[in-house]
Amino acid sequence: MATDLTLHQRRRAPRPDELAGIPWLRHLQPAEQERVIPQIVVGDAQPGDHVCRYGRPPTYWFGVVDGLLKMSTESAQGNSVTYTGLPSGGWFGEGTAIKQEPYRYNVQALRNSVVAGLPIDGFHWLLDHSIGFNRFVMNQLNERLGQFIAAREIDRMNDPDVRVARSLASLFNPVLYPGVGEVLRITQQELAYLVGLSRQRVNMALNTLQEAALIRIEYGGLRVLSLEGLRNDAVLRTL
């Protein structure tokens, strides 16, 4: 059965609309695109599928064409620590791909998702030959550093409303996740997994943020009305 196959075994060639959703391709010269596009593969990930596993060597540089993934690790005591969610348009793991060292985290699908991969050899060829690609990767690394610093701050926050607000702000990063736009397709349970709170507490926080006119809860997702408000500590202290 197809469901018995691994994500790697379910890989296929991307459709034109899936290629159109890969943000870094537009930064390449035509000859560079011609070289790497045939190397790109996509896989239809099911909830719980591992895209990356802790300790495994990288074979692809990955991105989310559509869906939602979770980047996490487990402590020595067996507790799971979530670093970030990875929504549509996000590419990740460039630091691991550059160093070609084993993954220090797990990445799993939270829902049915389409995941793209560029083989490591193609990734390094672009680093060696494409100025546009290098600029894209440098921007990624810079934004990722800021994101993980913010994630450490969020972990230390005791106010659940602020935790949810800051976590939402990180998912609406236009540089890291250009495919999200103004509406994030996410359920309250998925957000609870990412934030580390119960679904009921996340529901309360979302209603508080909606009353403050920072977001609007819509069918199947959330619309951000004030991204700066979600990031602004002075605004969040008034909740």
Rounded to an integer, the average pLDDT of 200-229 is 93
Read off the DSSP letter of residue 28: S
Taking domain 158-236, whether its CATH number is 3.40.50.300 is answered by no
The domain ranges of the chain are: 2-151, 158-236
SS (H, E, C) 111-166: CCEEEEEEEHHHHHHHHHHCHHHHHHHHHHHHHHHHHHHHHHHHHCCCCHHHHHHH
Angstrom distance (rounded) from CA 222 to CA 236: 18
pLDDT in tens, 115-146: 999 999 999 999 999 999 999 999 999 988 87
Rounded to an integer, the average pLDDT of 42-46 is 95
Residue pair 209/165 in contact (Cβ under 8 Å)? The answer is yes
Angstrom distance (rounded) from CA 237 to CA 239: 6
pLDDT at 1: 41
Locate all alpha helices (DSSP H) within the chain, ordered by sequence. 16-20, 30-36, 94-99, 120-129, 131-155, 160-171, 188-195, 199-211, 227-231, 233-236
pLDDT in tens, 147-171: 777 666 666 667 889 889 988 988 9
Task: Write the CA distances from 36 to 140, 184, 195, integer angstroms.
Answer: 19, 30, 36
User: Which of 108-117, 143-152, 177-186 is least confident?
Assistant: 143-152
Nearest to 74 by CA among 53, 94, 101, 49: 53
Q: Identify the architecture of domain 2-151 in CATH.
A: Sandwich (2.60)
Q: Is 2 exposed, middle or buried (0-12, 13-18, 19+ CB in 10 A)?
A: exposed
C-alpha triplet 145, 149, 154: angle, nearest 5°: 140
State the distance between the two ends of the chain, measured CA to CA, in whole angstroms.
51
